[in-house]
Amino acid sequence: MKKYFILFVLLFPILLQAQTADTLTQEQQSWLTKSNRHEKNGWIYLHLEGSPKERGFQHGYLLAKEIKDALRILSEEWKYQSAMEWSWIVGKAGEILTAKVDSENIAEIDAMVEGMKSAGISTTRDELVALNGYMELIWYWWPTVKDSFKTNSPEPKKQSCSSFIATGSMTTDGGIVLGHNSMVGYQDPFCNIILDILPEKGHHILMQAFTGFIHSGTDFFVTDAGLVGSETTIGGFFPFDEKGVPEFSRMRHATQYANNIDEWCEMMKKDNNGGYANAWLLGDINTNEIARLELGLKYVGFEKKKDGYFTGSNVAENLNILRFETKSEETNIKYSSVARRVRWKQLMKENTGKINLELAKSFEADHYDTYLKMNNPSGRTLCGHDDLDPKFSSGGEPYSPGGSIDAKVIDSKMAKQMSFIARWGQACGMSFDAKKYLEAHSQFDWMNGLLKDRPSQPWTEFKVGEK
């Protein structure tokens, strides 16, 4: 009897999948034949293809379990931080964001709802808009209104990444090299998704993404127009315009339809709402040009060159954005953004003419603390380790469960092949054990069930059309 029970347990997922497949229409089954999902070294690769309805259905159906978990994590985090229900912020997404999302993106989101439903999981259009726009809602809109609720809800912690792009005399072959790692709270929904999107209209896209996003969120991408890009958030940014178009909708539209850097930037600037304000590092392998677009709300910084580099560490370089639209300091090296900004300058100077993919990997995994002037993995290093940092000097929250959660690199040769190399987990390869962490730092025990292990994973190449 025990043997048959074990056999049933092993076969149950297969039987359930077959049962679910039987409920699909022939049209839905045909949509799924164009897509595929596979997992590799901590990453989930998802190929989506066709019309907005086809792509959305494929996305929702194949990633339903992970999207459900992402929504669970976000709802629990929101409830803890604000003492308010998830349904409330979903309602605000409907009021503030949904009507401003363009028709193609809304069609894709609606089809995701349908795909998840066919996989046995219920959600709504507004909930998936809240998921895609949670950075804008929780990091930018909520701080503008929370005082009216007389709440001591803490200021949301924004993503803080480390990125560079170099070209010309900076690199070994004169081509473009781009590197990026994402630094967020370890409890946030995983961004271990590699989206390979072949749309009915527009450009083929390969990008990293958060679970359930139609855009990227971490923002690392390459398109068949020859564009590569990444971003780092503009630290201390505060303006937000409810009348503008959500950043996630503009980013996806620009990445799918722009033919060059200038077009991409114009699409991002149109109807800007100030949400998720970033310094975008962009490259065009057709012209060997690189650019930095700092997109504030009222103010915009833009630079472009064919020789040199740009870096990002959450300090606004445009003086108008820095002084009028942020609350950041740019000289206090005790703080992560400033310490990493100094480190980027050191690395670029030391490695002029030498930069390639291998050096890019080492940059993103760098542990040199420019404040302490020593190798010391912490919240101040390019490869961030807030969980190891007592922050005695920087004034931050000691041992906060966050830091670098990935790393990606690409050069012109890889971009021509629509591929890049990525590492899931810490950029340096250090592992994270959630149980041991919570045992050592019980002040964060509310994160039980939210924090997950991040074992060390190898660097892995991804390209379009994988099976």
Mean per-residue pLDDT pooled into runs of 10, the chain (467 residues):
44 45 89 98 98 98 98 96 96 98 98 98 98 96 92 79 97 98 90 98 98 97 98 96 98 98 98 97 98 98 98 97 95 95 98 98 98 96 95 81 96 98 96 97 96 96 96
Alpha-carbon gap, residue 66 to 39, rounded angstroms? 13
Is residue 428 located within the same domain as residue 281?
A: yes
Is residue 168 located within the same domain as residue 199?
A: yes
Cα-based distances in Å from 117 to 31, 98, 107, 140, 316: 15, 20, 15, 31, 43
Is residue 225 located within the same domain as residue 103?
A: no
Is residue 269 located within the same domain as residue 200?
A: yes
Of 374, 366, 426, 371, whose CA–CA distance to 402 is shortest?
Answer: 426
Alpha-carbon gap, residue 36 to 75, rounded angstroms? 29
CA angle 197, 257, 205 (to 5 degrees): 25
Give the number of domains in the chain: 2
Is 23 part of a structural domain of the chain?
A: no
Is residue 205 located within the same domain as residue 71?
A: no
Is 46 part of a structural domain of the chain?
A: yes
Of 108, 134, 112, whose CA–CA distance to 123 is shortest?
Answer: 112
Please give the backbone phi and psi of residue 252, each rounded to the nearest 5 degrees, phi first: -65, -45
In single-letter form, the type of residue at position 174 comes to: G
Domain ranges, residue 49: 28-149
CB contact at 8 A, 455 and 431: yes
Is 418 part of a structural domain of the chain?
A: yes
- Residue 246 tokens read as 């959500």
**Domain termination residue (choose one: 115, 149, 183):** 149
First to last CA, the chain: 39
Is residue 174 located within the same domain as residue 288?
A: yes
Is residue 339 located within the same domain as residue 428?
A: yes
Alpha-carbon gap, residue 402 to 384, rounded angstroms? 8
Is residue 420 located within the same domain as residue 288?
A: yes
CATH number for 208 = 3.60.60.20
Is residue 199 located within the same domain as residue 95?
A: no
pTM of the model: 0.94
CATH number for 140 = 1.10.439
Is 7 part of a structural domain of the chain?
A: no
Rg over alpha carbons for the chain, rounded to the nearest Å, is 22
Is residue 310 located within the same domain as residue 441?
A: yes
List Cβ neighbours of 434 (8 Å cut-off, separation of 6 or more).
186, 451, 452, 453
Alpha-carbon gap, residue 105 to 132, rounded angstroms? 11
Is 466 part of a structural domain of the chain?
A: no
Alpha-carbon gap, residue 295 to 292, rounded angstroms? 9
Is 22 part of a structural domain of the chain?
A: no
The pLDDT of residue 154 is 80
Is residue 211 located within the same domain as residue 309?
A: yes
The pLDDT of residue 156 is 75
**Domain termination residue (choose one: 149, 170, 188):** 149
Of 197, 213, 193, 215, whose CA–CA distance to 205 is shortest?
Answer: 197
The pLDDT of residue 25 is 97
The pLDDT of residue 396 is 77
CB neighbours of residue 6 within 10 Å: 10
> Hey, CA dihedral for 380, 383, 384, 390, is it positive or negative?
negative
Of 280, 322, 281, 315, whose CA–CA distance to 298 is shortest?
Answer: 322
Is residue 291 located within the same domain as residue 398?
A: yes
Is 132 part of a structural domain of the chain?
A: yes
- Residue 436 tokens read as 């041991």
The pLDDT of residue 22 is 62
Residue length of the chain:
467
**Domain termination residue (choose one: 92, 124, 149):** 149
Is 421 part of a structural domain of the chain?
A: yes
CB neighbours of residue 32 within 10 Å: 18
